Amino acid sequence: MSSEVALDFHSGVSSLHDTHHSHDEHHHHETFISKYVFSMDHKMIAKQFLITGMFWAVLGGFMSVLFRLQLGYPDSTFPWLEDILGKWAKGGHITPEAYYALVTTHGTVLVFFVLTAGLSGTFANFLIPLQVGARDMASPFMNMLSFWFFFTAGIVMLSSIFVETGPFSGGWTAYPPLSALGDASPGSKTGMDLWIVSMALFVVSSLLGGLNYIATVLNMRTKGMSMTRLPLTIWALFFTAVLGVLSFPVLFSGFILLIFDRNFGTSFYLSDIFVNGAGALPNEGGSAILYQHLFWFLGHPEVYIILLPAMGMVSEILSTNARKPIFGYMAMIGSMFAIAILAFLVWAHHMFVTGLNPFLGSIFVLLTLLIAVPSAIKVFNWLTTLWRGNIRFTPAMLFAIGFVSLFISGGLTGIWLGNSALDIHLHDTYFVIAHFHIVMGVASMFGMFAGIYHWFPKMYGRFLNNTLGYVHFWITIAGAYLIFWPMHYEGLAGMPRRYYDYSIWESFKQFSDLNRFISTVAMIVFATQILFLANFFYSIFKGRKLRTANPWGSNTLEWTTPIKPGHGNWPGEIPEVYRWAYDYGKDGTDFISQTTPVGADESVH
């Protein structure tokens, strides 16, 4: 079927692949709109996801700088804040409402828009067809819709920042009653309506994308590309899509119930509520805990939706730049599979202190701690891949190694938090902040940076500036540890998260210097990311040009395409695959592309 997987995007979902198209002379009329805006080329859609994700990363990151200002300098005023935030920073001091709105939007934007859409949206779109050997996604049209649903979700979320009562401010998890009652806080009014509409659109986007990724990986692999010859990136993105397809609908149901609670007088999540000024509410019989269960049924798989693509890309980049086969290829697949299953079984470990039944809690502890097994397998496989490798420290490789480091340090604290007894002390403290920022936030960002540095040449036919890449890496890794490492101590001391001002608390006054230090580093790291963006956009137009099609000496299929592949990826036939993706340094050969037939006297791996 390889050559018949035609680009028949004119007939939509219904089209069969046996309709013949001659893609060799596939020069249909392309306008600016069809090439750059409503594009159905997976590579262009990937770039759209990436750049939209970057916009949100800058916005979400800037928000963290703003609330870190409040946390680091609670007594100072910054008149320029009033210039940009208006009444939300009267007299140059962020108001409590604005602080909570910033924290909430930072979380929502980073988790969903940057690390879900920006990460798996970009790389699943870019890499799946290129690495499995397909001309495009199964349904390019649905792929385009997926991006535009995401874009619209972004517009709605952005508009919520500008409404009179401000964006939603009840935390990114949007627990009721703060999310269900408009009277609960200013942000619970229009801001929450827009938040929920935006998230519903986002769910649609990720379902459209996820179904497409699954169908493409299963159905459209080129000849010879069996599942066990797939690069680990594809396996990771495949599991990511499966997680999304199975868990986002549960969140969607939870949101629908929430919409009814907000607007139609139901009480799915409401019971025994007394609102200041409004008195006792008539809503009875619901359970706010139910929302948390539904939310975390998505929420926990969501952290693996964020993490798995990074893991996959890091595996690929480590192996390529260590010039060694990935260690334990099948174990890597198995552990990702185990992680994907366990992701659905552990959600209530986010809820140990909600009054969750302790017996049920103990089962969740057991299942949670089981995740340590596949995670450890992966870590050891990465380390053994590096061991005695002929390592090339490209910026992508540095970020990949940084990912491993962060995944270890963040993952270990997960074992602490997975214990329901320890969680009584640690729940909702800065320890949790430190844990999930390192293991999920920063680590996945590192995976994303690694991916961008590694595949930028394929995306734009030019290199990113190496020196700036090294500067970017070293400041970011040092900064990440300097920001989040001290938070472990604050958390162990009991410092709760989401407080507006710690200086008024006798117990937490001691941390005011530390908080100021963290804030300062956060600003430096944020500025460094701007440097990266400058590098990115400069290099698109002025970067060093690619001279060979395969700059990293990589085995995977995307490097067999021309330097600037057109729509359809391969000018002629799609190459056939004869081997797995990790034949580095085999029989004294530096690398053997997947398209090279197995020689007669080759050793068997």
Site for another protein in 267-286 (CB under 8 A): 267-268, 272, 280, 282-286
Q: List the one residue from 55, 151, 260, 380 that touches another protein (CB under 8 A).
A: 260
* 264 binds another protein, rule: CB under 8 A: yes
485 touches 431 (CB < 8 A) = no
Strands 274-275 and 584-586: unpaired
Q: List the one residue from 4, 82, 97, 602 that touches another protein (CB under 8 A).
A: 4
* Contact track, another protein, 17-46, x by CB under 8 A: xx----------------------------
To another protein, the closest distance from the beta carbon of 222 in angstroms equals 6
Please write down the long-range contacts of 243-246, taking CB distance under 8 Å and 24 or more positions apart: 243/301, 243/302, 243/304, 243/305, 243/308, 243/340, 243/343, 243/344, 244/116, 244/120, 244/206, 244/207, 244/209, 244/210, 244/301, 244/305, 245/207, 245/210, 245/211, 245/214, 246/301, 246/344
Select the span of 193-201, 287-295, 426-434, 551-559 touching another protein (CB under 8 A): 287-295
* 1 binds another protein, rule: CB under 8 A: yes
Residue 451, H or E segment: helix 443-460
Diameter of the chain measured on Cα atoms = 84
Q: Closest Cα to residue 232, out of 130, 314, 122?
A: 314
Percent of the chain that is helix, strand, coil (3-state, to 5):
65, 0, 30
Q: List the one residue from 37, 256, 278, 424 that touches another protein (CB under 8 A).
A: 256
To another protein, the closest distance from the beta carbon of 592 in angstroms equals 18
Give the list of residues 6+ apart from residue 37 with CB closer than 8 angstroms, or none.
none
* 248 binds another protein, rule: CB under 8 A: yes
Q: List the one residue from 74, 92, 182, 249 that touches another protein (CB under 8 A).
A: 249
To another protein, the closest distance from the beta carbon of 140 in angstroms equals 12
To another protein, the closest distance from the beta carbon of 362 in angstroms equals 12
Give 66 or 336: the residue with its C-beta nearer to another protein: 336
Q: List the one residue from 13, 330, 600, 604 that touches another protein (CB under 8 A).
A: 13
Q: Which residues, numbered 69-128, are part of the site for another protein (CB under 8 A)?
A: none
Q: Which residues, numbered 188-207, are part of the site for another protein (CB under 8 A)?
A: 207
What six digits make up the tokens of 114? 């940057």
Select the span of 49-57, 186-194, 218-226, 467-475 touching another protein (CB under 8 A): 218-226
Residue with tokens 């490789």, as numbered in its chain: 397
Q: How does DSSP classify residue 325?
A: P
Q: How does DSSP classify residue 10?
A: T
To another protein, the closest distance from the beta carbon of 148 in angstroms equals 18
- HEC string of 386-438 equals HCCCCCCCCHHHHHHHHHHHHHHHHHHHHHHHCCHHHHHHHCCEHHHHHHHHH
Q: Cβ-count burial of 446 within 10 angstroms (0-12 exposed, 13-18 middle, 19+ buried)?
A: buried
Give the list of residues 6+ apart from residue 4 with CB closer than 8 angstroms, or none.
17, 18, 20
* 247 binds another protein, rule: CB under 8 A: yes
Residue with tokens 């379902």, as numbered in its chain: 207
To another protein, the closest distance from the beta carbon of 152 in angstroms equals 20
To another protein, the closest distance from the beta carbon of 204 in angstroms equals 11
* 254 binds another protein, rule: CB under 8 A: yes
The C-alpha atoms of residue 528 and residue 482 are separated, in whole angstroms, by 15
* 227 binds another protein, rule: CB under 8 A: yes
Q: Which residues, numbered 559-598, are part of the site for another protein (CB under 8 A)?
A: 576-577
To another protein, the closest distance from the beta carbon of 496 in angstroms equals 24
Give the list of residues 6+ apart from residue 86 with CB closer than 8 angstroms, or none.
none
The C-alpha atoms of residue 269 and residue 259 are separated, in whole angstroms, by 11
Select the span of 182-190, 289-297, 394-402, 490-498 touching another protein (CB under 8 A): 289-297
The C-alpha atoms of residue 497 and residue 115 are separated, in whole angstroms, by 22
Report phi then psi at 547, rounded to 5. Answer: -105, -30
Neighbours of 179 (CB within 10 A): 29
Q: List the one residue from 91, 96, 265, 571 that touches another protein (CB under 8 A).
A: 265
Give 352 or 508: the residue with its C-beta nearer to another protein: 352
* 240 binds another protein, rule: CB under 8 A: no
Give 129 or 491: the residue with its C-beta nearer to another protein: 129
Give 50 or 298: the residue with its C-beta nearer to another protein: 298
Give 286 or 447: the residue with its C-beta nearer to another protein: 286
Select the span of 27-35, 217-225, 418-426, 429-437 touching another protein (CB under 8 A): 217-225
Count of residues that bind another protein according to CB under 8 A = 73
254 touches 291 (CB < 8 A) = yes
Strand partners, 591: 584
To another protein, the closest distance from the beta carbon of 476 in angstroms equals 36
The C-alpha atoms of residue 383 and residue 362 are separated, in whole angstroms, by 32
Q: How does DSSP classify residue 117?
A: I
* 369 binds another protein, rule: CB under 8 A: no
Select the span of 8-16, 44-52, 89-97, 160-168 touching another protein (CB under 8 A): 8-16
Report phi then psi at 279, rounded to 5. Answer: 85, -165
Q: Which of helix, strand or coil describes residue 165?
A: coil
Q: List the one residue from 24, 76, 91, 253 that touches another protein (CB under 8 A).
A: 253
* 290 binds another protein, rule: CB under 8 A: yes
Q: Which residues, numbered 339-358, are part of the site for another protein (CB under 8 A)?
A: 341, 344-345, 348, 355-357
Give 502 or 582: the residue with its C-beta nearer to another protein: 582
Q: List the one residue from 51, 65, 163, 211 that touches another protein (CB under 8 A).
A: 211
* 338 binds another protein, rule: CB under 8 A: no
